[in-house]
Structure 1
């Protein structure tokens, strides 16, 4: 911004400055730029009369204004602006001429047209004539049959179109559940069925030759089953396999108010006579009519060593009754830590339990109660029998007078 301010008078070529130095900032043919009422005026200078007075080339056409700020624009700068404006205008006109030529080629040319851009680059594209020529060569979509190769059916009739497209008779059937219709994707018969590799809800039993030998059934939510005339349990689900002379069942059931259990049942035939039942109850107890047996054949064992010092080991292990800190019922037996003192190899580590307080106990110790009790008690009894026999022999000798009893002996 130049020094001082200007006073401009409407329809006058005289400009008066206040605090200006026109003689040092301007020469004839320079320009001053001033903004009055939001409008910028670029005014050419005719003569510089003094440091505070100059004359314009033409009268000022704006409103009278005093104290206006101003800028001095040298003639050289204005010439550069004018030259740039001429160059830009020429470039714009060149672009308009290109546009007219380009559109003339597109509308009146054939084949492809070369489109020129204002920066001198060019590219080619189809003309309007090439579009109409291509459309005229397309198949008639109104009369006749559109070939398959051009996206049609190759036939003027519906039946012929289905044949050419390889469509079966289901293409003309309506969606429904009655005979002669096709099923929709949300048909309940499909949605509610069990599908391969997908989850499904089973509402009816699944049978496979169930009424004959080698039959199979998968069933859920069975009704309450009675036994001996009274309600015995509610069966939730079962798998039943039938053979000619025996049947097998795996089920999940509830004894109302008592317990839940998973069970394996063996029948003599089709549920005519129950031969065996094995229950695994939610209390952690296993139940069967017989007993659980393990292999104990000498032929499959080695390093047979009788339990040593059985009477001493008997004192290390006590028999207890207890209440559980978790949800299991009360019980009786050995404590794993005591068994480990006498038979460390008879105690295994594994599993976890959550107490009623919420505390979780990991690495639960589990003793081989049956094996330890059988081996230890039997050997302890044998040891006691030896002691009894020795004492009996001694008593017999005393009563026969063959033994002299000394005081303190």
Structure 2
């Protein structure tokens, strides 16, 4: 082969990233040429929506929104049981110069590859709705997400998120420093209402399973909102099926074996894994460049190892046994009818399992980020739940019949 032929063949070969210190690249590189197929359907959906949005040329209702504003709220941190620091923001809606405890605390738990900023609209809408009331709202970033510490791969589980949430509850709620409260709660004052979206909702289900004392008589939880979530693995239906793929398995192995190389190939990941999530965020009729860019930026800023490692948790979790515990307190289930990651039937089944003190709210044509696409509907559902809140009721006493009495 002459020099001209060798040069031509070399020019046609795809170049691979050169990363110093990485010797074994075969596991990841074998999958990279094919990984784009994962996001092909999603990318096509995004392109169609962008074209339709540009054609309609309507005003962007959220063009002036600062989706980072939540990080201006007072900051603190919670240390988890295994020593990681979780970023926390707290909003007290009453005059804090008055020495008083909140009548109710709302804890917001965000979803997969997101951060507390995904609750942007609820944070500010509820603050206006409850202005001056003794209500506290607490937001935090999961381990490996947002401004919280990076998460070791073995800790990227739904059970761990449940334990992290329990640690946050113990920290932000006075008198909840032990595994069981010393005195039973007899009213809703001073209790906590939990609000979880997507993986955050799964974490709340696991919380009920692993820390059931919080939900029972004498517990501190007085209400639960489950927003666009599912009690079983998301890969069983919808776009989540695209996450169950041999190429994703190659990514998982590569994250552990060659994390620097995976980060270098993040551009490839953006056209494969991330579009699946971005495309499912909003319904087909939603047109807001600002909101779309905000969600896309949040997802892209989530560490790639976090994204890949938590895929195991999303595939394997099953929290069906949590519903008898959750059903002890009032609840609301919210879902978009066009949600492709946690389709509506998941929410209907959860609602059916939560008993007579549950409500089902369906946002027509909304996608997975329903709290951003239809913020007023989600905000109203949360406010209504707070009005209905109560702690678990004591079981009725059994009558002791005298022997021989009929």
TM-score range, shorter chain: under 0.3
TM-score by length of 2: 0.16
Q: Which has the higher contact order (CA 8 A, sep 6+)?
A: 2
In terms of fraction of residues, the more strand-rich structure is 1
TM-score by length of 1: 0.16
In terms of fraction of residues, the more helix-rich structure is 2
